[in-house]
Amino acid sequence: MIEILAVLSVSAAAGMRIALPLLVMGLIQGDLWQQVPLLNQIQPQVVVAVLTAWTLLELFVSKQLWGQRILQFAQLVFSPIVGAVMAMAVARILHLQPTQLVWILGVVGGLLALVLQLVKVGWFYRLQGLPTWAVLLEDILCVLLVLFAFKAPNSGGLIAMLLLWLAIRSSQSWYQWYKGGQVRN
């Protein structure tokens, strides 16, 4: 059960940012992405350089409205992939044995990352841009979720489940908002 909570935690982090959680995960592990599928095929120096550049881009560009628009497309496309890769990596690091279970957790992690990213895109369009304080909170929460996955998976999994609950509540709110606007027209 602890492994599942850790997987949910890193998947939620991947639903917020793409490069930042991968960079944090690689830096807190001693073997630098040797357990991460796809990234273990690339030299660690290249991975560090690319993830650092992409993280800096995400951190600085996401504070501007035009930057949020540009990053949304890339994050929407890559968040399920990164969520699945990180979920499978955490399952491998925590030594889950059945290979089928690792793949199932990868799919669940990718779907959770996609759902959280879709909710973020929905809020962006409903609010005509995310406020800077929300983006900063998202950055901090992203790093904390990765750290919690390895140090306190119970807390990280609980936060991920709360984020999923908020996503479900948001979708209900949007549906009621949409129906209310349709009745008036």
pLDDT of residue 20: 92
Give the pLDDT score at 165. Answer: 93
Is-contact 91 101, C-beta < 8 A?
A: yes
- Give the pLDDT of residue 49: 93
Tens-place pLDDT, residues 140-160: 999 999 999 989 989 999 999
pTM of the model: 0.87
Q: Which of 156, 103, 113, 88 is nearest to 17 (CA)?
A: 113
pLDDT tens, position by position, 51-110: 999 999 998 988 888 888 888 999 999 999 999 999 998 888 888 777 778 889 999 999
Are residues 140 and 147 in contact, defined by beta-carbon separation less than 8 angstroms? no
**116 close to 164: Cβ distance less than 8 angstroms:** yes
CB 45 within 8 A of CB 120: no
- pLDDT of 183 reads 52
Q: What is the pLDDT of residue 185?
A: 47
Place of tokens 């990164």: 82
pLDDT tens digits, residue range 109-142? 999 999 999 998 888 888 888 888 999 999 999 9
